[in-house]
Amino acid sequence: MYTEIRLVENGRYPSLEFNIPLLTWNDWMQDNISLLPAVTENNNEVVLFSFHNGNVLARGRTTPEQFQRLFDSSCVCLAAISIGEKPLIETTIFKKEHFDTGGHFFQGVYHQTSGDFDSAILAYEKALKANPQLYRAHNLLGLCHRISGNNEAAEKSYLASIDICSTCPEAQSNLGTLYLKTGREVEAEAMFLKALEADEFYLNALLKLSKLYLKRRKVLDSDFFQINLKLFKLYSSIPKVISRLEDTAQLGQMSLNEYCQRLGSSNSYLNSDQIIRQMKGIEGYINNGALFAAINGLKKLGNESEQTYHGHEILGWCRQRFEKIKATAADLKHLELSNAVSAIKAAVPALKSNEKSVSPLNSTEFFSLVILEIMRDGQIDLHEKKIVQKLRDMLQISDQDYHDIINRIRSQVSANPFFEKEPKGFQPLRLFRSLVRAAARDRVIEESEKKILVFASKAFGISSDDVHRILAEVTP
């Protein structure tokens, strides 16, 4: 559909504004969109294209002068026009990439979505001859070559895309798929992991890495478990995801329901629907260039999580994304964006910290995990009170710390719909598994953590056989 667009100046850069509902634009800010110039004999068109679902989102016509100004800039801003016909600064998307002003790239996309891969290859090659820096064109050219059976040309194209844009999860995941299909599993794993560094929730990389780990990982291996947890929480409506989870459950000699219960009751900040969807949204904003929206998302997530049980881990995640935004803001030299970065430092001081996002399991966290396990049914019965008091005395948990922990865990349990619907009471084995997973999150179980695990096994009567079994299941 044709959309009313207008070109204005936004600080240092031209801004293309679209007259569409803000709710629709918010979805697009988390998408993977780009402008595709679509040149015809009589018109200079611009197409807003989604590389997430392969759809044209909007079209608009520009004058030759506007067209030239738009694509001569080192960065193009995209924004939605608000009710008052003024763009909201929070809606701005920054696109610092090269564009094909000859229209060949758009022709290639059209041919590829129509299934005409030979014509798509020719169009992409024309676009790249005019501008070799089109990393998206390199990636899609590689995809066409792979589908056509030319693996060598596909690999070359994917590598060219990654060389231009080292944070492009599409090309990295596509190259990983090519390596996987040609038996180069070690290289495939490295590519999928790189894709997930760029976008932690990138579906294709999660699916392919889960498939790869299915061959050679233990079902409850920490990395494998976290990948499947993300698939379960975010993509469980997709048949391929359900199939992958079924395969994993079968490997672990569990039913799908049992495995999903295990995923849903794990000790992970990703188990909160609200938190994982906020994180996915922020990741999408950053990768799509919607940096103001990402800053606001980090501010909200940072403030909400600072005093929660998993706050330390969540703030560590936020700090990594904050550093990405800071680097981009410095590169763009956009005054309002730089001001927004400064403002979030003042609003969420913890984001300025260089503190490690992963620290060893300590006695307070151990006590918190015990309370979390006990309070799965929302209460602490008489028998459990005795256990809690005994641990408080042994671990020297102060009254203030005790009340803070109880309040945090109560909030966590009430806000998380994935805790078991019919709790079976305190389960020491499940608790011990959570303790081991917490201790092994940095891939090393330190001496202080070993002492806690030994203490827990003795305190809760866990046999040595169960200890060794759980250690084998959970640790890499």
- Confidence (pLDDT) at 358: 58
- Confidence (pLDDT) at 65: 86
**Mean pLDDT across 212-218:** 84
- Confidence (pLDDT) at 419: 45
**Mean pLDDT across 340-362:** 72
pLDDT tens string 97-116 = 999 999 999 999 999 999 99
| Whether pLDDT at 196 is above 90 | yes
- Confidence (pLDDT) at 74: 86
Q: Which residue has the higher pLDDT, 155 or 225?
A: 155
- Confidence (pLDDT) at 359: 67
| Whether pLDDT at 171 is above 70 | yes
| Whether pLDDT at 354 is above 70 | no
**Mean pLDDT across 393-412:** 82
| Whether pLDDT at 423 is above 60 | no
| Whether pLDDT at 418 is above 50 | no
Q: How much is the mean pLDDT over the chain?
A: 85
| Whether pLDDT at 191 is above 70 | yes
| Whole-number percent of the chain with pLDDT over 90 | 42
- Confidence (pLDDT) at 183: 93
pTM for the predicted model, two decimal places:
0.79
pLDDT tens string 39-89 = 766 668 899 999 998 999 998 888 888 888 888 888 999 988 765 556 577
Going by pLDDT thresholds of 50, 70 and 90, the confidence category of residue 475 is low
Going by pLDDT thresholds of 50, 70 and 90, the confidence category of residue 471 is confident
- Three-state SS sequence of the chain: CECCEEEEEECCEEEEEECCCHHHHHHHHCCCEEEEEEECCCCEEEEEEECCCCEEEEEEEECHHHHHHHHHCCCEEEEEECCCCCECHHHCEEECCCCCCCCHHHHHHHHHHCCCHHHHHHHHHHHHHHCCCCHHHHHHHHHHHHHCCCHHHHHHHHHHHHHHCCCCHHHHHHHHHHHHHCCCHHHHHHHHHHHHHHCCCCHHHHHHHHHHHHHHCCCCCHHHHHHHHHHHHHHCCCHHHHHHHHHHHHHCCCCHHHHHHHHHCCCCHHHCHHHHHHHHHHHHHHHHCCHHHHHHHHHHHHHHHCCCCCHHHHHHHHHHHHHHHHHHHHHHCCHHHHHHHHHHHHHCHHHHCCCCCCCCCCHHHHHHHHHHHHHHHCCCCHHHHHHHHHHHHHHCCCHHHHHHHHHHHHHHHHHCCCCCCCCCCCCHHHHHHHHHHHHCCCCCCCHHHHHHHHHHHHHCCCCHHHHHHHHHHHCC
Q: Which residue has the higher pLDDT, 148 or 39?
A: 148
| Whether pLDDT at 143 is above 80 | yes
The domain spans of the chain are 5-96, 102-199, 271-352, 363-474
For domain 102-199, give the CATH number.
1.25.40.10
- Confidence (pLDDT) at 421: 39
| Whether pLDDT at 177 is above 50 | yes
